[in-house]
Amino acid sequence: MINAVLVMNTQGKPRLTKFYKQVPVEKQQEIIRAIYAVLSSRGENYCNFADASNISGSDNKLVYKHFATLYFIFVVDGAESELAILDLIQVFVETLDRIFKNVCELDIVYNFNKVHTVLDEIVMGGQVVETNSADVMKAVQDIFKLERAV
């Protein structure tokens, strides 16, 4: 399953954190720092995976993608396919891009509740529920429409 989804910028500042298992706030910060330390030490054309068994538990892996000033990181256990998760990140980012029209770091900072809404449509309780960007868009827009109507 997916244990956590994180978005942080290239300076290590968290922009979105979502943990699907119970993690105390202090430990969350520790994990964020440890992940940043790993990612910042990795070169540009390295593979998109990194071992995280020392960060969040045995057989855990980081699957991450670097977009402009942001890292999108999924912390997954051995039951997930790394390559598939990599494409899931792509779906997530594509969806954000459609919603915010050329998403940038600040969109995520200011609208992280919306980003959470998008993420909730894709990942639920640590499992992938939807992988189709168009479907996610539709669901999210339904919600936004209704929210605005109220």
Partner 1 sequence: MEQLKTIGRELALSSQVGWGSSKEFLDLVKAIGEAKSKAEEERIIIADIELLRKKIGEPDVPRRKMKEYIIRLVYVEMLGHDASFGYIHAVKMTHDDSLLLKRTGYLATTLFLNEDHSLIILIINTIQKDLRSDNYLVCCAALTAVCRLINEETIPAVLPQIVDLLSHQKEAVRKKAVMALDRFYQRSPSLVSHLIPEIRQKLCDRDPSVMSAALCALFDMITAESEPFKNLTGSLVSILKQVVEHRLPKLYDYHRTPAPFIQIKLLKILALLGSGDKHTSENMYNVLGQILTKGDPSTNIGNAILYECVSTLSAIYPNQKLLQHAAELTAKFLKSENHNSKYMGIDALGRLIKINPECAEDHQLAVIDCLEDPDDTLKRKTLDLLYKMTKSSNVDVIVDRMIGYMRTISDAHYKTDISSRIIELAERYAPSNHWFIQTMNQVFEFAGDLVPAKVAHDLMRLIAEGAGGEDEDADNQLRSSAVESYLQVLGEPKLPSVLLQVICWVLGEYGTADGSHSADYIIGKLCDVAEAHPGDNTVKGYAITAITKICAFEKGAGRKVGLTSECRSLIEELSTSHSTNLQQRAYELQALLGLNDETVATVMPMDASCEDIEVDKSLAFLNAFVKSALEKGARPYLSESERLSIGGITTLASSNNQNDLSHSLRFEAYERPQLPVPSLSSFQPTVVREFEDQRTTNNNLRATYAGHSTSMTDTQLVNTEAASLRLDGIQKKWGRPTYNNTPASSTSSADRGRSAAGNSPAEFSKDEPVESSLKSAVESRYVTSRKQRPEISEEKQKLAASLFGGTFPKSQSSSRSSGSTGKVSKSSHSRSQAPHIGANEQSAQMRSANSSTSIDKGHEKSLPVSQNLATPDLLDLGDGDSAGPSSDPFKQLEGLLEVPSTAMPSKPVIPQQVPDLLSLYESTPSSGSPSINLIG
Who's near 117: CB < 8 A, 6+ residues apart? 140, 143, 144
| Interaction between residue 104 and partner 1 (CB under 8 A) | yes
CA nearest to 29, candidates 60, 6, 63: 6
> Binding partner 1 by CB under 8 A: which of 60, 66, 116, 137?
116
Q: What one-character-per-residue DSSP string does 19-64 give?
A: ESS---HHHHHHHHHHHHHHHHTS-TTS-SEEE-HHHHSTT-EEEE
Between strands 2-9 and 49-51, the pairing is unpaired
| Interaction between residue 43 and partner 1 (CB under 8 A) | yes
> Binding partner 1 by CB under 8 A: which of 40, 57, 59, 83?
83
Q: In the beta sheet, which residues pair with residue 49?
A: 63
> Binding partner 1 by CB under 8 A: which of 75, 91, 96, 103?
91
> Binding partner 1 by CB under 8 A: which of 67, 98, 109, 137?
109
| Interaction between residue 68 and partner 1 (CB under 8 A) | no
109 and 15 Cβ atoms separated by less than 8 Å: yes
Q: What number of other Cβ atoms are within 10 A of residue 127's Cβ? A: 11
| Interaction between residue 72 and partner 1 (CB under 8 A) | no
Structure tokens at 141: 């827009």
Minimum gap (Å) between residue 131 Cβ and partner 1 = 5
Interface contacts to partner 1, rule CB under 8 A: 1, 11, 13-14, 16-18, 20, 22, 24-26, 28-29, 32, 41-43, 45-51, 53-54, 69, 79, 81-84, 86-88, 91, 104-107, 109-114, 116-117, 120, 124-132, 134-135, 139, 142-143, 146-148, 150
